[in-house]
């Protein structure tokens, strides 16, 4: 008689239903937090006013919304069409998107108001302390990597366009040479290189963009 080859497992498997309960309890149930802030007073004799606001904060927003935050911020900070890069506002934009997606804040349409709200209050830091910290890290990493990708892509496209122009110009000069015209090809090449360099180095005078999701 053959012995059974089935060995008794030395660990207990977690049922799928149990995993689901844990996952949805953490992800889909926003929690209420009491946020305390101090009202600004100009009268030294007047006691400082303390107010409480109840914030409904989501622990997690999922991959799609996380990706939307990264793309929105990156495309605002680095505008390829305008050749504009504004790294100094990256943190502010990330904070406002986090407040919007995790705590349902309305985003001001005027950038200065948005900047003042984020930098002069502790709301953004409070909300970030309550959300999924892995997602928070992915947002910062995702924004940086998207900007790096967009920069490399732009450099690659400029290099390709420059090479295309040079090839076309070389073909033109070869055609001119073939018909025996007296043309100073070196001067023409220098002129084309100068024009190309001026276009690449041209600064952008475009104004600061409004936040895309504020439309």
d(CA 89, CA 94): 9
Cβ contacts of 184-187, under 8 Å, gap ≥ 24: none
d(CA 114, CA 109): 8
Given pLDDT bands bounded at 50, 70 and 90, which one contains residue 150? Answer: confident
**Least trusted range by pLDDT, from 76-80, 122-126, 145-149:** 76-80
Its pTM stands at: 0.60
Give me the chain's average pLDDT, please: 75
Query: Per residue, what are the HEC states of 92-146?
Result: HHHHHHHHHHHHCCCCCCCHHHHHHHHHHCCHHHHHHHHCCHHHHHHHHHHHHHH
pLDDT in tens, 101-113: 999 998 888 889 9
Is residue 137 over pLDDT 90?
yes
pLDDT in tens, 157-214: 666 566 666 666 666 666 666 655 555 666 666 766 776 666 666 554 444 444 444 3
């Amino acid at each position: 008689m053959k012995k059974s080859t089935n060995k008794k497992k030395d660990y207990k498997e977690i049922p799928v239903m149990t995993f689901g309960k844990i996952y949805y309890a953490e992800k889909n149930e926003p929690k209420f937090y009491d946020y305390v802030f101090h009202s600004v007073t100009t009268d030294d004799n007047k006691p400082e006013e303390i107010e409480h606001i109840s914030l409904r904060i989501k622990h997690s927003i999922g991959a799609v919304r996380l990706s939307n935050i990264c793309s929105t911020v990156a495309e605002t900070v680095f505008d390829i069409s305008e050749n504009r890069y504004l790294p100094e506002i990256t943190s502010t934009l990330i904070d406002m998107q986090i407040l919007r997606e995790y705590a349902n804040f309305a985003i001001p349409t005027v950038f200065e108001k948005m900047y003042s709200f984020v930098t002069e209050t502790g709301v953004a830091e409070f909300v970030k302390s309550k959300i999924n910290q892995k997602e928070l890290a992915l947002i910062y990493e995702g924004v940086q990597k998207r900007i790096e990708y967009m920069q490399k892509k732009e450099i690659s496209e400029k290099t390709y366009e420059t090479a295309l122009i040079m090839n076309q110009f070389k073909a033109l000069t070869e055609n001119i040479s073939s018909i025996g015209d007296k043309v100073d090809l070196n001067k023409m090449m220098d002129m084309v290189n100068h024009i190309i360099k001026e276009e690449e180095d041209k600064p952008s005078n475009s104004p600061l963009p409004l936040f895309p999701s504020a439309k």
